[in-house]
């Protein structure tokens, strides 16, 4: 009789463990590029602060498509089948793939420039459906990046814009840059690229066209090759401004964009709200409130540039 009780206890223990594990919130993070080459640890840290720590109080799965559309489709199919409690979709291609697949799981997106224009939500105030998140407000920042570049490099009259036509949001961003340049009588040189295979020739063409500086729009895939991009800009003696601070940490001259830490923090907060019962349709899409200018003094010195005090005073992040 006693032996039966022991056996019953041994059987009940793993069952209880499995039941407990099943009760843990399941969060899947889908990135269209290489998440481990990004500051994705910031998102994990924010989730942990809110009580969702992987393998302790939550099950968090990180999925990266590595810039491969077929791999992305397979990962989305996997998520449709698994139906986690929340999907955090990082970058527009990830969100687009989930939307096309008709996922019913709540989705929190981050680093998406125009979720309304892209058809992800009905409006920022009233998302509708099962998608909500944090915008990046990138399109309206093109002119600001151009202005910062001009302020940093007085006398600049010709700027190359390197961008990928494969990213729909880049069209609006380029138009914002061009409009600002026209108003200031700055010539813009548009050079499209499709990936690492033609990036070197893109810099060659920008230099040959007489560009004095570059505004670089990184794709999700090329964000994982920040050092290579920075090396090309330096080799062509082209001062560059980018979107994200890590691009400057890895050698770019400057960057200006929404603070990545804030974006991850707000995405984590929306995720927590959904796990506690809120509906994505009732959670307004949030816009950035903090923007960060980063500069790399080591790169400036390598280019023979002395950044003006005005730029240094504005910079929240200075890399020496």
Listed residue (247, 218, 224) closest to 234, CA to CA? 247
Q: Helix or strand or coil: residue 176? A: helix
Q: Which two tokens stand for residue 38?
A: 């990004």
Predicted confidence at residue 113, as pLDDT, reads 87
Residues 253 and 154 in one domain: yes
What's the CA gap between 252 and 163, in Å, rounded?
A: 16
> Which residues does 255 contact at the CB level (< 8 Å), separation at least 6?
241, 242, 243, 244, 245, 247, 248, 292, 293, 294
Predicted confidence at residue 13, as pLDDT, reads 42
Predicted confidence at residue 22, as pLDDT, reads 56
Residues 187 and 249 in one domain: yes
Residues 129 and 182 in one domain: no
Q: Are 286 and 135 in contact (CB under 8 A)?
A: yes
Residues 23 and 80 in one domain: yes
Q: Which tens digits make up the pLDDT trace of 104-135?
A: 999 999 999 889 989 999 999 999 999 999 99
Distance of CA 120 to the CA centre of its chain: 16
Residues 194 and 305 in one domain: yes
Residues 199 and 241 in one domain: yes
Residues 18 and 95 in one domain: yes
Q: Which two tokens stand for residue 5?
A: 């009780």
Predicted confidence at residue 5, as pLDDT, reads 40
Residues 130 and 167 in one domain: no
Q: Which two tokens stand for residue 233?
A: 């800009």
- Ranges of beta strands (E only) in the chain are 26-31, 59-64, 86-90, 107-112, 131-135, 158-163, 187-192, 213-216, 240-242, 254-258, 291-296, 317-319
Residues 17 and 128 in one domain: yes
Predicted confidence at residue 23, as pLDDT, reads 81
Residues 20 and 66 in one domain: yes
Residues 158 and 176 in one domain: yes
Domain count, the chain: 2
What CATH number did the domain enclosing 90 receive?
Answer: 3.40.50.2300
0.75 surpassed by pTM = yes
Q: Which tens digits make up the pLDDT trace of 202-252?
A: 999 999 999 999 999 998 888 889 999 999 999 999 999 999 999 999 999
What is the residue range of 127's domain? 2-136+260-289
Low-confidence ranges of the chain (pLDDT < 50): 1-21
What's the CA gap between 121 and 92, in Å, rounded?
A: 12
Residues 210 and 69 in one domain: no
């Amino acid at each position: 009789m006693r032996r039966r009780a022991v056996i019953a206890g041994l059987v009940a223990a793993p069952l209880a463990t499995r039941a407990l594990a099943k009760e843990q919130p399941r969060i899947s993070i889908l990135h269209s590029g290489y998440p481990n080459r990004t500051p994705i640890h910031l998102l994990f840290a924010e989730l942990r602060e809110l009580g969702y720590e992987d393998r302790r109080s939550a099950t968090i799965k990180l999925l990266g498509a590595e810039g491969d559309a077929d791999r992305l489709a397979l990962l989305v199919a996997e998520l449709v089948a698994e139906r986690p409690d929340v999907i955090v979709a990082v970058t527009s291609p990830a969100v687009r793939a989930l939307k096309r697949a008709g996922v019913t799981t709540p989705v929190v997106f981050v680093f998406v420039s125009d979720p309304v224009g892209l058809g992800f939500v009905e409006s920022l105030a009233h998302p509708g459906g099962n998608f909500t998140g944090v915008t990046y407000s990138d399109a309206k920042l093109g002119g600001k990046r151009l202005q910062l570049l001009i302020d940093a490099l007085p006398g600049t009259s010709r700027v190359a814009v390197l961008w990928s036509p494969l990213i729909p949001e880049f069209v609006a961003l380029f138009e914002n840059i061009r409009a600002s340049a026209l108003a200031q009588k700055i010539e813009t040189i548009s050079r499209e690229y499709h990936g690492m295979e033609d990036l070197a020739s893109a810099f060659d063409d920008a230099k040959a066209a007489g560009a004095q500086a570059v505004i670089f729009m990184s794709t999700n895939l090329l964000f994982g090759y920040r050092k290579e991009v920075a090396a090309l800009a330096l080799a062509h003696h082209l001062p560059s401004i980018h979107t994200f601070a890590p691009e400057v940490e890895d050698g770019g001259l400057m960057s200006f964009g929404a603070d990545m830490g804030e974006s991850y923090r707000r995405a984590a907060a929306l995720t927590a709200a959904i796990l506690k019962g809120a509906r994505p349709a009732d959670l307004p899409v949030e816009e950035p409130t903090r923007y960060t200018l980063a500069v790399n003094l080591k790169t400036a010195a390598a280019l023979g540039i002395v950044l003006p005090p005005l730029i240094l005073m504005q910079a929240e992040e200075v890399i020496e």
